[in-house]
Structure 1
């Protein structure tokens, strides 16, 4: 049984939480007892002691926990979690009925009412990701709730939180069928190989589904496509199936080579007709510029922060320079797919990075499309800051 304590919220933040804001900010609350265990339940009250909401203690980014309910009579038990999961599944009915897409998000944290928890579906397998010790303390209740709600082949979990100064990323089989990885899922009819028991990630970022579809259908036919920070080459596969003349995938991780070959192969594509480079993207930009290489389409989907022996990169500071490097090797009238998952700034700020890069490069441009999280990645309707994905598909005008 999780401990329950009273948490006083400063008056300035009361209306925000009462009206639906899901995150309990550190600065919003009175100081906590440092010996308090994550997972403790909060009875959140006004300075005068009047009830506002019930939440839990779980450190995640700038928050100390998440609101779970604004009903003072609501018990945080298996029935609570089961109800939240059922509601989330009902919102995804059309995804379960789509044979062309067999991997998607079925529970998206605060958007579905439980911050710190996501659940993804991979062709009958469910993968739970816990983003704090606090939400992990409810693990057994959540797993039992999931088992009571869905038919599953197998269940896996990921622990993705900081413990005693160490960032924990651990995969683990929970129960059901033991996956024979990679399993092959479909996304808009395209095959992708995924592994639920191989490090922090699975082999595909499900939130980019609509962007990959647009690349395949609208911008690839007969084109040369450069896919930077390419991971397992999912964008390259989409481009190749869209008729790209050639794709070039660039990523510093050594495993990107066999993983990209695998993604091409499960789609019957001859990977030897495409370029796969294991190297620093910024070094590749310099190499391509020296050799006067030009690409019709450039995909930029960097991590929010990266560090190498030579440099550090942060999207919040360095995205304009990244775009300028990409512009130098983009063909006239070419396309840049600029993307970031950094939640610390919004789409307006991201567009200012784009404008800055183009102005400093004396280039004109037009934004053809913009994307944020797809439909299965439900976010709180009144709080757009939780819609972290920002993608602009940009055309050079000369």
Structure 2
């Protein structure tokens, strides 16, 4: 069992102060402390007045309490705990109560809060599951969507989760945004996010079902989009089989290309530390070849500035001719 630093509170205060300017710029949802700054032991996210403490090592109950109390000293009102297993997909289903306790480990109970990102409000549920409604490392990608959505264009947001990308496309003036996910629950959550920004959220814009099946269906209909967003999990099981991003991303890009208008763009994300940027680009290139489309990259980036040294997230914007 690892030891916690003796100067824990001063260290957290110093690290969190480095991100304080985000709050004054209209962002109250961000990573306060990243694992590269804690020797891989823990990370701390801020969601408005609430902190979400992610543990990547086994700590004693006393150590967890001490760490949570130190996090609270940064000005947060409550701290929720997430114990992050190496393989979260299966463990999150069978050990949910232990991995993501529904009650805060420190401070007052705040099961729902509204936090801002670049002035856009999002509904965050710190007590929900290991995933709380938004991924802070994708902030730059959501900003990219806000800045590059074609005016009056059509946007398809696949693996939509709570529809953060779709929301930003709608705010940017897209004529149509379709959000697609395998969970009705998270799509309903996405509609709540739309409502927070005063946007109309008809059920027809929130498509429930398997992404690959929907891509085939949309392709047969001849529907085309000027922007397609791909943000799949790195690993998942479904009725269709096992998805592994390092094996299946080329096929996903090929199917997405079939519904991407000539000259349209695809924003592709992969959250997998074991897949290098070079390998990811080869997968995307292979998918474009399968689709018979010429491809060129228009942007390359990763997680935001509050993720120093992070290499897990790779984001590529590409144009398909």
TM-score (norm 2): 0.91
Partners of 1:315 and 1:157 in 2: how far apart?
28
2:28 alignment partner in structure 1: 102
In structure 2, how many angstroms separate the alpha carbons of the residues matched to 1:312 and 1:117? 29
Report how many residues are paired: 313
Separation in 2 of the partners of 1:178 and 1:367?
45
Residues 129/333 of structure 1: CA separation in 2 closer, same or farther (3 Å cut): same
The change in CA–CA distance for 1:137 and 1:251 in structure 2 (over 3 A counts) is farther
Q: Could you say if the C-alpha distance between residues 184 and 274 of structure 1 is closer, same or farther in structure 2, counting changes exceeding 3 Å?
A: farther
Counterpart contact for 1:126–1:154, Cα < 8 Å: yes
Q: Is the 8 A contact 2:12 2:74 kept in 1?
A: no
- Is it true that 1:142 corresponds to 2:72 in the alignment? no
- Mark the CA change 1:78 to 1:115 in structure 2 (over 3 Å): closer, same or farther: closer
Q: Secondary structure of 2:170's partner?
A: helix
8 Å Cα contact 1:343/1:389 also seen in 2 = yes
CA distance in 2, matches of 1:77, 1:357: 46
List alignment gaps of at least 5 residues for structure 2: none
Q: Is the 8 A contact 1:81 1:141 kept in 2?
A: no
Task: Write the deviation string for residues 16-61 of structure 1: whole angstroms up to 9, x where unpaired.
Answer: xxxxxxxxxxxxxxxxxxxxxxx1xxxxxxxxxxxxxxxx3xxxxx
Aligned mates of 2:165, 2:130 — CA distance in 1:
20
**Greater fraction of residues in helix:** 2
Asked if 1 retains the 8 angstrom alpha-carbon contact of 2:111 and 2:126, the reply is no
Per-residue deviation, residues 293-332 of structure 1 (Å, max 9, x unmatched): 1111100000001111222111010100000000011011
Which of residues 84, 87, 91 is equivalent to 2:11?
84
Q: 2:65, 2:105 within 8 Å by CA — same for their partners in 1? A: no
Cross-structure match for 1:70: none
Structure 1 residue 175: Cα displacement? 2.8
**CA-CA distance at 1:229 after TM superposition:** 0.4
CA distance in 1: counterparts of 2:223 and 2:61, whole angstroms: 49
Highest CA radius of gyration, 1 or 2? 1
Aligned to 1:93: 20
Q: Residue 348 in 1 paired to residue 278 in 2?
A: yes
Q: CA RMSD in A?
A: 2.1
The 1:77–1:395 alpha-carbon spacing in structure 2 relative to 1, beyond 3 Å, is: closer
Please say if 1:119 is aligned against 2:44.
yes
1:173 is matched with: 104
For residues 290-301 of structure 1, the aligned pairs below 5 Å read 290-301=220-231
The equivalent of 2:85 in structure 1 is 161
- Structure with larger RCO (C-alpha < 8 A, sep 6+): 2
Give the Cα–Cα distance (whole angstroms) in 2 for the partners of residues 372 and 162 of structure 1: 21
Distance 1:166 1:371, change over 3 A: closer
Checking the alignment, whether the CA contact within 8 Å between 1:300 and 1:336 is kept in structure 2 is: yes
Q: Which string of whole-angstrom CA distances, capped at 9 and with x for unpartnered residues, describes residues 362-397 of structure 1?
A: 211221111101001122xxxxxx41000001111x
Structure 1 residue 192 displacement after superposition:
0.8
Query: Given that residues 78 and 142 in structure 1 are in contact (C-alpha distance below 8 angstroms), is that contact kept between their aligned partners in structure 2?
Result: no
Distance 1:166 1:336 in 2: 32
Q: Secondary structure at the match of 2:68?
A: helix
Match of 2:289 in 1: 359
1:152 to 72, 76, 81: 76
- CA distance in 1 between partners of 2:219 and 2:156 (Å): 13
**Match of 1:388?**
312
SS in 2 for 1:271: coil
Asked if structure 1 preserves the Cα contact closer than 8 Å seen for 2:250 and 2:287, the reply is yes
**How high is the TM-score relative to the length of structure 1?**
0.74
- Greater share of strand: 1
Secondary structure of 1:204's partner?
Answer: coil
Structure 1 position 162, deviation (Å): 6.9
